[in-house]
Structures are given as structure tokens and as C-alpha cells.
Amino acid sequence: MQTYLVGGAVRDTLLHRPVTERDWVVVGATPDQLLNKGFQQVGKDFPVFLHPKTGEEYALARTERKSGEGYTGFVCHASPDVTLEEDLRRRDLTVNAMAMSDDGNIIDPFNGQQDLINKVLRHVSDAFSEDPLRVFRVARFAARYDYLGFKVAPETVALMTAMCSTPDIKALSQERVWKETSRSLMEGTPAVYFEILKKVGALNIWMPELDNLAELPCLLSQLNKSAADDADLPTRWALLCSALTESQVRNLGTHLKAPNLEQDAALNACQLLNHLAAAQQNAEALLSVLNKVDAWRRPERLSQLLQVAKYWPAEKPTSIQAECFTGSLDVAKRIDVQRIIASGAKGPEIKKQLTAQRLHAITEYLSECGSVQPK
């Protein structure tokens, strides 16, 4: 029985990048041998085990064979006679198909080290096309390693393009596509992910609202700037969706099963960003923005919107003065509705007086601080 470190941990070690998780392959072993050593089996479809002390994943060497349609149609074969090279052959990219022995020796049957030197993301074999999720994974890796100068090999781009003309690309689960997309959004140059998907045809299939968007190049440029500022996921997703209509944002979010937090930020952005510049000059318009984002009960929604506004509009970001909104919210929240009720107001009159007093407070605040004209 031999154990090897494999995949991303080897790749990132050779690139001198931090290794966040380690995966292992065990060659020449049976499930019982690992169970007897205290490993816990967690994979039903694949022979994957958790180390009793480190909790790291150890998988028996295996091969995979396409057995049917769709991305789940695979037969897995794991046995002591499966070699390390056979296990590595089933992987997606040459830079991910390397292993490291206990003594630090690199096993590299598909020239992954040379591709690391040449900064190329290249598929291992034509079996790459059997799993359409790899289209999105490669685009994500390209976004991650773009800062190092990595590019996708032309032959891999051609294969990815061909894969996007098959029914399998449409059969992917929404959750898996969103997972790859959300992870890519949090990379250093997330624009690359969407540029590659557009190039190979996957964006038109899974995110047609973005594929057909004239403002996409500008949005992607701003998206990279938000990444440089370490913006959070809801901000990045909202920025990407900010030039879409409300119905397009809803359709895109539904298609990808985007989580509520990200979808809420995107809807607020597409509905309100165009009004912020004018609102910071007008108390009534500003109060309307506060009401629409429900800033009274959920001030974090206003903060999120203002984060996106830093990069909007994509063609030429204006100077949205966040303090105009946060300060206005602060003074308006000081209005005591209980005092209004105590004064004898009832029913609709309560809301009317509350609105009037909030509007007066915001007007005075903007007047005192001097509402700053957009630059």
C-alpha cells in the first residue's frame, strides 16, 4: 500500500502558493485495509475515506468510465490493481494530474510540470469532454491563475467549445454551476471566468442575460476592481447584474439558484443604482431609497448597495457620497414613532407624520453637511 499527495496541493506547492487542503490517493489497498487502520468511509459512489487524525480525504486509486448520458453517467472502478498513472489519467488538467510521494518525489506522467513552467492549462486526454462541469472548472482555474500569466491551451479551448454544443452541458445541476460561478467571482481576476465562458459558448447557455449584455466588458473591468478591493460575494454578484433589468436578474438568479443574499443584493442594485446620484441631492428621493431597501430594519442592505455604487456605472463610476445616505438614515431613525402616537395620531396619520418628520430631518441634514455634487 502506497500513499501519494495529489491534485491541487501538488500544483500549488510547485507554484509556491498556500496549500489550503490536501487530498491523497492510496494505491494497492482495499477498503477493509483502510477501515482497519481507523479510517472512516464517507463516499458512497467513490471509495473515499477520512484520516482518523487529520480528517483529510484519502481515496483509493480508481478509474472512471463513461456509461451513460449526463454528467453523472460514470462507472467507478477501484481495486488494488489500479495504478497511480491510471488514477491520474482521469483528472482534468495536466497541472492537476501530478502526485508527490512521501519523500517529495514528483510523479508527473502527463508533463504537468512543464505546463506549469509554460503557464498553460491543458486537458489530460479527450476523456476531459465526458464531464461538462470541467468547462466551468477550467474557466475558474484561468481566473485564479491569471495573475501568474496562465492561459488555456488552444486545443483545450477548442474541446470546451465542442462540449458546449452537446446536450450534457445543459444537463448540469444548477447548484454545481452556481458553486463554480460563486467561487470564480471570489478569485483575483473573476472577469476571466466569464470571458472564457463567453468565448466557448457556455455563457450563452447558462447566463444568456449576461452574454447578450452590451455593458459586459465594462462590468467585467469593474468586477476586477471590486476583487482588488476584496469586496464580498454579494457585492460582486450585484455589480455583475447591475445593468440587467429586474426580470433578467430574477431569471438569471432562478436559473442558477443564486442564494437569497446574493439575489437580494442584485435586485437592489438593478432597481436603485441609477437613482443614487440624484437621491443624494434630494431629500425626498433619498428617503425613497431608504424605504425601498428597508434600511430601517435592515441597514445592511443599504451598506451593500453603497458598496456596489463605488463601481457604478461601469462605464464611468460617479462619486456617490455614502455619508449622505448613512447620515440621513441616522437622523431619520431618531424620529420616535411612539411620540407621534402619543400626540394623538391614529391609523394612516401615523405613517404620514412619520414620513414628514423623517423628510424634514433628512432635509436639514443635507443642508447642514452640504450635499456634495457628483464629480
Task: Detail the residues annotated as belonging to a binding site for ATP.
Answer: 8, 11, 91, 137, 140
The vertex-202 CA angle with 201 and 208, nearest 5°, equals: 90
Q: Which three cell numbers stand for residue 188?
A: 483575483
Question: Dihedral through CA 180, CA 184, CA 185, CA 191, nearest 10?
Answer: -130
Q: Write out the binding residues.
A: 8, 11, 21, 23, 91, 137, 140
Contact partners, residue 11, CB within 8 Å, separation at least 6: 95, 96, 98, 112, 116
* Phi, psi (rounded to 5 degrees) for 199: -65, -40
Cβ–Cβ < 8 Å for 260, 234 = no
Tell me the DSSP string of 197-243: HHHHTHHHHH-HHHHT-TTHHHHHHHHHHHHHTT--HHHHHHHHHTT
Q: Write out the binding residues for Mg(2+).
A: 21, 23
Q: Write out the binding residues for CTP.
A: 8, 11, 91, 137, 140
Q: Which three cell numbers stand for residue 60?
A: 483509493
Distances (CA, A) of 91 to 100, 109, 218, 326: 15, 12, 35, 50
